[in-house]
Structure 1
Amino acid sequence: MKPIRIIWLLLCVAGVILPMRYFLPWLSANDWDLGAMIDAWHVNDAASGLVWDLTVAAITLTVWIVWECWSTKRWLGLVAIPATYFVGVSLGLPLYLFLRSR
């Protein structure tokens, strides 16, 4: 495997572990209430700004993935879209780059 693919893969692992070590305990302590999590994301202007930053990044990544998969007919890259929305851009982007670099 090329060194860049190893880097993408390591970033995928970090992109799952780092956010989930905060999300999962919080969700567990709050009865898995996604509405409460969304409210927590908007606890102040700085947090809301970060949410909007990541939302725009996720939408941009989705458009790029769909466009490129449609153009190249390499459909495997589409798995990065649910990864982006279920975990975050921290997983979706390196996962797509990993799949794209094969």
Structure 2
Amino acid sequence: MQLIYLLLCVAGTALPLSQFVPWLSVQGLDLPLLLQQATSTHIAAFAWSDVLISGVAVGVFVVAEGRRLAMRRWWLPLFCLMVGPSLALPLFLLMRERHLVAARPNHSSKPTPPLGSASFRR
């Protein structure tokens, strides 16, 4: 899973920035224009409102889960929300996966079976 999360971090950075950087180089940091274009059509407003709500949900999840697991640097994905949830969420999941693997008693990369899933032989 770690490789998948890492690939999603790369895609979650490259794809949004591949659209924003050219716009930024032409328009500069014109926030009123950015907001006007982000809400200029119903589909644009739909997409941006989805990103906004997803970002808030990711932020709440990162804080709650990072603290619950006593993860180191759990706050780092919060800064990555500046790129977007498409980077912040896979980065946090990668960090969480690494934290959980390191916390296992034998540090093996094999997943532990869920509770109550022991198989009984007759």
Work out whether the TM-score is over 0.5.
yes
Gaps of 5+ in 2: 99-122
Residues 1:93 and 2:86 are matched in the alignment = no
Gaps of 5+ in 1: none
Query: What percentage of residue pairs aligned between the two structures are identical?
Result: 33
Question: Whose relative contact order is higher, 1 or 2, with alpha carbons under 8 Å and at least 6 apart?
Answer: 1
4+ runs of 1 displaced by more than 2 Å? none
TM-score (norm 2): 0.75
Structure whose residues are more often helix by fraction: 1
Q: CA RMSD in A?
A: 1.1
Q: State the match for 1:33 in structure 2.
A: 30
Secondary structure, in 3 states, of the residue corresponding to 1:76? coil
Number of positions where the alignment pairs a residue of Structure 1 with one of Structure 2: 98
CA distance 1:8–1:28, shift in 2 (3 Å): same
Secondary structure, in 3 states, of the residue corresponding to 1:75? coil
C-alpha separation in 2, matches of 1:101 and 1:77: 12
Amino acid at match of 1:59: V
Larger radius of gyration: 2
Q: State the match for 2:7 in structure 1.
A: 10
